[in-house]
């Protein structure tokens, strides 16, 4: 078991208060960071091999460095706390149990990118996390950490998955419908309110104070070769002890399932979704994979948001796909024709198959539509939908065919 970094205080009483946070070393990184040049902070983060933990796994330091150097207007820091990916619930823990870590991380990140205003976009259903976090923001203002050149605005979402996509989130933040925008321009060049904007996940920013406190080399050493640090895995489904587990990025999927007490239900593993519902599924024999961004990518899936969903062999894969397909059909923002139309059609067909009314060629039709549309849309939502469509059917085709009698 690796050292707990992000969740080190989760068991401590009142860990969400400023008092406890300070007693356990909180805001010491900030003091250090204030003595450093922005470029030095950015460099430290770059060297730490920190990669975005919201889904895309983009190197954080590199993202920060895209902010135009000669920009004279405001720069914004936006924290993505929309946590909508099915099977993912780690940001909730962080907001509830260690909100000051996010605030401290934000102030340091803001220094690195020269931002004076940060937004935190919190998923609408997260009432308790929102209460805890806003209370912490108030404490931080009272203590003078905020309001001294950096301010935080908390914004609550309204329950649309697509508002977790960074440009959809920005649209929503601007008061518009949460529709993703065409790229380029990328947010780092032209984001919220037309200004350069960095969007980072809650967990990503919570890592920052530790990197400053203990150094990039230490942080990089915690993980794999290409991804530093530990990360919070949300493990759910058929495991004995579902929950959030902080582990090194270098852990394997098999080890992680064991940490969660092993497969429950029938006790026989059938498949695992390793990175939230958008990640292609892995069959039972594929679980010796390293859970970092590159390890999972090489295995044909993705680390995504590190939401691990475990299926025992009593789970029907076609039914599971139907549930996933319903989610994507319902949550597509509807802008792009391929996404809107295909998600609608594929859900219909999955439904038909599960009801026993499917035809054998339905499977090829789904695969054809899914494959053609992949990579053609405004945002990565549709690619996220395509992952399960293709992998569920290709890896478990027999199960589908058994349902398609015609």
Where along the sequence are the contacts to ligand FMN (CB under 6 A)?
52-56, 58, 80, 82-85, 162, 164-166, 199-201, 204, 379-381, 384
Report the DSSP beta bridge partners of residue 121.
80, 155
Question: x-or-dash pattern for ligand SF4, window 357-386, by CB under 6 A?
Answer: --------------------xxx-xx----
DSSP conformation class of 124:
T
Q: Which stretch binds ligand SF4 (CB under 6 A): 101-109, 116-124, 190-198, 330-338?
A: 330-338
Q: How far is the CB of 368 from another protein (least distance, A)?
A: 8
**Packed helices 99-113 and 90-97: angle between N→C axes, nearest 10 degrees:** 100
Q: Interface with ligand SF4 includes 160 (CB under 6 A)?
A: no
CB of 91 to another protein, least distance (A): 23
Helical segments of 122-252, H only: 127-142, 166-173, 202-206, 208-214, 216-222
Of the candidate residues 14, 22, 375, 405, the single one contacting another protein (CB under 8 A): 375
Q: Scan for tokens 């950096």, then name that residue.
A: 150
Residue 42, C-beta contacts closer than 8 angstroms, at least 6 positions apart: 61, 64, 65, 112, 113
- Tell me the C-alpha to C-alpha distance, in Å, between residue 310 and each of 86, 161, 235, 254, 276: 13, 22, 8, 11, 11
Which one, 183 or 225, has the nearer CB to ligand SF4? 183
Across the beta sheet with 230-237, the strand order is: 243-248, 230-237, 307-312, 269-273, 282-283
Judged by CB under 8 A, the stretch of 202-210, 242-250, 298-306, 344-352 that binds another protein is: 344-352
Q: Which of 71, 297, 330, 397 binds another protein (CB under 8 A)?
A: 330
157, 209, 338, 387: which one binds another protein (CB under 8 A)? 338
Q: Minimum distance between the CB of residue 361 and another protein, rounded to whole angstroms?
A: 11
Token output for 346? 């594929």
| From 46-54, 129-137, 240-248, 367-375, span contacting another protein (CB under 8 A) | 367-375
Out of 241, 266, 298, 337, the residue judged to bind another protein by CB under 8 A:
337
Q: Should residue 160 be labelled a site residue for another protein when binding is judged by CB under 8 A?
A: yes
- Member of 343, 362, 386, 403 binding another protein (CB under 8 A): 343
Tell me how far apart the alpha carbons of residues 340 and 358 are, in angstroms, rounded to a whole number: 22
Q: d(Cα 405, Cα 272) in Å, to the nearest integer?
A: 27
Cross-strand bridge partners of residue 136: none
- What value does the CA radius of gyration of the chain take, rounded to a whole number of Å? 21
- Site size for another protein, by CB under 8 A? 32
Nearest approach, Cβ of residue 401 and ligand FMN (Å): 30
* CA pair distance 220, 248, nearest whole angstrom: 10
Q: Which residues bind another protein (CB under 8 A)?
A: 160, 162, 182-184, 329-338, 340-345, 348, 365, 368-369, 372-378
């Amino acid at each position: 078991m690796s050292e707990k970094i992000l969740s080190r205080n989760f068991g401590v009483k009142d860990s969400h208060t400023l008092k406890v946070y300070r007693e356990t070393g909180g805001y010491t990184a900030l003091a250090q960071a204030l003595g450093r040049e922005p470029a030095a902070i950015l460099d430290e983060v770059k060297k730490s091999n920190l990669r975005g933990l919201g889904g895309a796994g983009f190197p954080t330091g590199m993202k920060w460095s895209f902010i135009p150097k000669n920009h004279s207007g405001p720069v914004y820091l936006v924290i993505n706390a929309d946590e909508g990916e099915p099977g993912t619930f780690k940001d909730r823990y962080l907001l509830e149990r260690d909100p000051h870590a996010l605030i401290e991380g934000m102030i340091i990140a803001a220094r690195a990118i020269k931002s004076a205003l940060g937004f935190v976009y919190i998923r609408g259903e997260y009432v308790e996390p929102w209460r805890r976090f806003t209370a912490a923001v108030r404490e931080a203002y009272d203590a003078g950490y905020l309001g001294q050149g950096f301010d935080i605005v908390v914004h609550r979402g309204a329950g649309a998955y697509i508002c977790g996509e960074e440009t959809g989130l920005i649209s929503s933040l601007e008061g518009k419908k949460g529709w993703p925008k065409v790229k380029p321009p990328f947010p780092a060049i032209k984001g919220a309110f037309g200004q350069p904007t960095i969007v980072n996940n809650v967990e990503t920013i919570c890592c920052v104070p530790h990197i400053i406190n203990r150094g990039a080399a230490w942080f990089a050493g915690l993980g794999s070769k290409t991804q530093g640090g530990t990360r919070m895995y949300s493990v759910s489904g058929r495991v004995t002890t579902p929950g959030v587990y902080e582990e090194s990025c270098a852990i394997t999927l098999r080890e992680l399932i064991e940490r969660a007490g092993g497969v429950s239900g029938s006790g026989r593993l059938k498949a695992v979704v390793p990175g939230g519902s958008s990640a292609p599924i892995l069959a039972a024999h594929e679980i010796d994979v390293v859970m970092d961004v590159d390890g999972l990518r090489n295995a044909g899936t993705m680390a995504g948001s590190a939401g691990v969903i475990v299926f025992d062999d009593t789970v029907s894969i076609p039914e599971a796909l139907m549930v996933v397909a319903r989610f994507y059909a319902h949550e597509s923002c509807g802008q792009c024709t391929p996404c809107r139309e295909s998600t609608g059609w594929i859900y219909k067909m999955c439904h038909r198959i599960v009801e026993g009314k499917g035809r054998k060629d339905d499977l090829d039709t789904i695969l054809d539509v899914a494959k053609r549309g992949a990579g053609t849309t405004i945002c990565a939502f549709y690619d996220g939908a395509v992952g399960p469509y293709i992998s569920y059917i290709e890896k478990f085709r027999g199960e589908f065919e058994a349902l398609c009698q015609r």
